[in-house]
Amino acid sequence: MKSIILTDFGAPSSPNELKDFLVNLYNRAPTNSEIEAATKKYEFIGGSPIRTKIKNLTEGLRNELENVQVDYAFLYNEPYLKDVIESNIKSGIDNITILPLFTFYSRKTAMDISKSISYNEGAVKIKVAPEASKVDCIPIVWGNRLNSDIKGLGNFTLIFIAHSVPKGIDVSNQYLQSFRNFAEKISLRVKNKNFLLGFQSSRQGWLGPSIYDLEVGPYEDVVVVPLSFLLTNMEILYDLDFEYSKYLKEKGYRYMRSGPPDDGDDLPKCLASIV
């Protein structure tokens, strides 16, 4: 019997779980300022939407697939990926496919998924699907969402956004090229073929430009498309919808966000085609 495990970073169920989540994410004890910043975002947003989104996506994928068990798991809090794999094996599953809900390759994410697999390595066949930027139907899903969101807009500035990574690491050039290529694929599906690339969390020694350093241009409407994740998370809701939106409004622009695909009807169909 086969199973699919949708895998994301995770989301604390309450502020009390934030510290443990950050410990798992950073592989170290978080500083007080990191805990305070995460708590501020969590309380401002009222919790992360990830759990609801991934549950809905899981149910949507179940409806698309017959005779396949579909579960979800997290890397950095419960239900942990390693535990869901073990539960699958105990229930008689002998073929597991892990579907990471990340757009671009990350060495840390790949290592953490491999570590989760290692607890039961060799017990059953376990395969990890490629990141979303390598899946042909994902930019189609994203492009359709973007087309729907910009319907009726006149001229606008289109900004594709990703999280930054340190320059000089062995995958930074690959990361930048994947980001650019993926943005180009989506842009081909909308009327505005010109776009800007910007990074969240960019700092000295990291890939840039920061979204705050972009020359946005002459148009009043600015449409931002966060590409790093397939599901909306706290960083999107706080860092973009609150902080970056406030920054643009102070500059006289009108902010609009499109995506991620989330738990709509198109993404389960696309993920089912991978399987």
Mean pLDDT on 209-214: 95
Q: Are residues 126 and 233 in the same domain?
A: no
Number of domains in the chain: 2
Model pTM score? 0.92
Parent domain of 36: 2-132+264-274
Give 144-167 pLDDT, tens digit per residue: 999 999 988 989 999 999 998 888
Rounded Cα distance between 135 and 138, Å, is 6
Rounded to the nearest integer, the mean pLDDT of the chain is: 92
Give 26-35 pLDDT, tens digit per residue: 889 999 999 9
* Weakest mean pLDDT among 12-16, 35-39, 61-65, 236-240: 12-16
pLDDT, position 102: 92
Q: Are residues 175 and 270 in the same domain?
A: no
Are 50 and 233 in contact by the 8 Å Cβ rule? The answer is yes
Q: Are residues 84 and 113 in the same domain?
A: yes
Q: Are residues 97 and 159 in the same domain?
A: no
Tokens of 139: 């930019």
Q: Which runs of consecutive H residues, i.e. helices, occur in the chain?
A: 18-26, 32-45, 50-64, 81-90, 107-118, 137-149, 172-187, 234-235, 245-250, 266-274
Rounded Cα distance between 117 and 111, Å, is 10
Q: CA end-to-end span of the chain, whole Å?
A: 14
Mean pLDDT on 9-24: 89
Give 64-109 pLDDT, tens digit per residue: 998 899 999 999 999 999 999 999 999 999 999 999 999 998 888 9
Q: Are residues 21 and 121 in the same domain?
A: yes
Q: Is the pLDDT of residue 169 over 70?
A: no
pLDDT, position 217: 86
* Weakest mean pLDDT among 39-43, 70-74, 88-92, 244-248: 39-43
Domain harbouring 188, CATH code: 3.40.50.1400
